[in-house]
Amino acid sequence: MYSDLVERLRVREEKGLRRVRRTIEGPQDTHVSIAGREYLAFCSNDYLGLANHPELIESACQGVRRYGVGAGASHLINGHSSAHHELEQALARFTGFPEALLFSTGYMANMGVVTALLGRGDAVFADRLNHASLNDAALLSRAKLIRYPHLDLTALERRLAMSPARRKLVVTDAVFSMDGDIAPVDQLQALCEKYQAWLLLDDAHGFGVLGKQGRGVLFSASQARAHSPNIIYMATLGKSAGVFGAFVAARSELIETLIQSARSYIYTTATPALLPCTLLTSLRLIEQDEWRREQLSRHIVQLKQALQSLCWPLQPSTTPIQPLMIGASDAALRISDGLREQGILVPAIRPPTVPLGAARLRISLSASHTPADIERLANALWQLAKAG
């Protein structure tokens, strides 16, 4: 048994696909310490710089003093606290939906939604570049998985029109996590209304960053469709919100269905109540601190200008996710290692996370970066490009 595992690991190593964990010796920030060395980091999803915010830390401490450390039970037994309830109500108001439901992770939220709503005889229509959690959820649901080319709504409509499925669900990233491009939400909503399909929007990388006051991708689209009954909205709370967890927002009937039927909600211990206590503060900062999103926009412009004629092109992303396209996995690793030698962390993203031949450096910008940080990264990339 183990010789087979060893061989598979060897092959992965030879292909340059082996992943390595690095242990951070302090809080998440734009400057981190690993093995006693300081690094400038462009590899966190902490887009608004809230993960180490003093007000969040204080809220977590207050939550511990009031609720203790562990929830002790699942939400449906005895683990659902007033803090969980208050955060769900606040998230529903913030995103403009009747109700919201907390999940432990975005992966579990997507898994819970798709498997609770669909089964044999149903169909899931998925963008080809969707996050793995959406694909895995579709497979586990036993519904028919029908994929369409990335952002190709003509192909999606053709597949929707041809499908005899009793229930239809379109699933898509709102911001695609490895490309940084944004799904055309208005057109997707219109198609789902036309073909009587639900639309599950995974806004993990848009919540807090996009839309009015960071309310997410739906508030970047036309307001007329922001509350379509076809919409199921999912967002995570460990990226822009700086903490942990996820939520689903939708009509009350759908949320109640998830409470009764979503296995990834029912059969797991509730998150510690200190987390929703902290997230209530995070939500307030997301809403009020417009300067964080403005700072991110300036960083994006600065990076694009600095790398404009570099031999490795940036993807056309207007989000904090700025993929630098390299191509070959070994080349992406070499450039990432070259940056690390200069004290800069940028991860190399390789297959199977991205398609073969589409390896890249995934530059993640934060409001906590400074213009000097962006300049240092750009200079280092130019040096590596000139060195070949």
Known binding-site positions: 19, 106-107, 131, 177, 205, 236, 353
**Residue 239 annotated in active site:** yes
**Residue 194 annotated in active site:** no
**Residue 304 annotated in active site:** no
Structure tokens at 183: 């799904």
Could you say which of 239, 317, 336, 368 is catalytic? Answer: 239
Could you say which of 177, 336, 366, 368 is catalytic? Answer: 177
The four Cα atoms 311, 312, 318, 323 give a dihedral, to 10 degrees, of -170
d(C-alpha 29, C-alpha 292), whole Å: 15
Residue 44, CA distances (Å) to 12, 17, 281, 321 in order: 25, 20, 21, 10
**Cβ burial 72-89 (10 Å sphere, 16+ → b, else e):** eeebeeebbbebbeebbe
Q: Where are the beta strands (DSSP E) in the chain?
A: 31-34, 37-41, 99-103, 123-127, 144-148, 168-173, 198-202, 231-236, 246-250, 321-327, 344-345, 348-349, 359-364
Could you say which of 80, 84, 168, 205 is catalytic? Answer: 205
According to DSSP, residue 69 is labeled S
According to DSSP, residue 25 is labeled -
The residues, ordered by sequence, that sit 6+ positions from 104 with a Cβ below 8 Å of its Cβ are: 245, 246, 264, 268, 270, 271
On whether the CB atoms of residues 81 and 274 are closer than 8 A, the answer is no
Q: How long, in residues, is the chain?
A: 388
Which of these, 84, 126, 78, lies nearest to 101 by C-alpha position? 84
On whether the CB atoms of residues 137 and 116 are closer than 8 A, the answer is no
For residue 61, the SS3 value is helix
Which residues participate in the annotated binding site for pyridoxal 5'-phosphate? 106-107, 177, 205, 236
Which residues participate in the annotated binding site for substrate? 19, 131, 353
d(C-alpha 42, C-alpha 60), whole Å: 26
Catalytic residues: 177, 205, 239
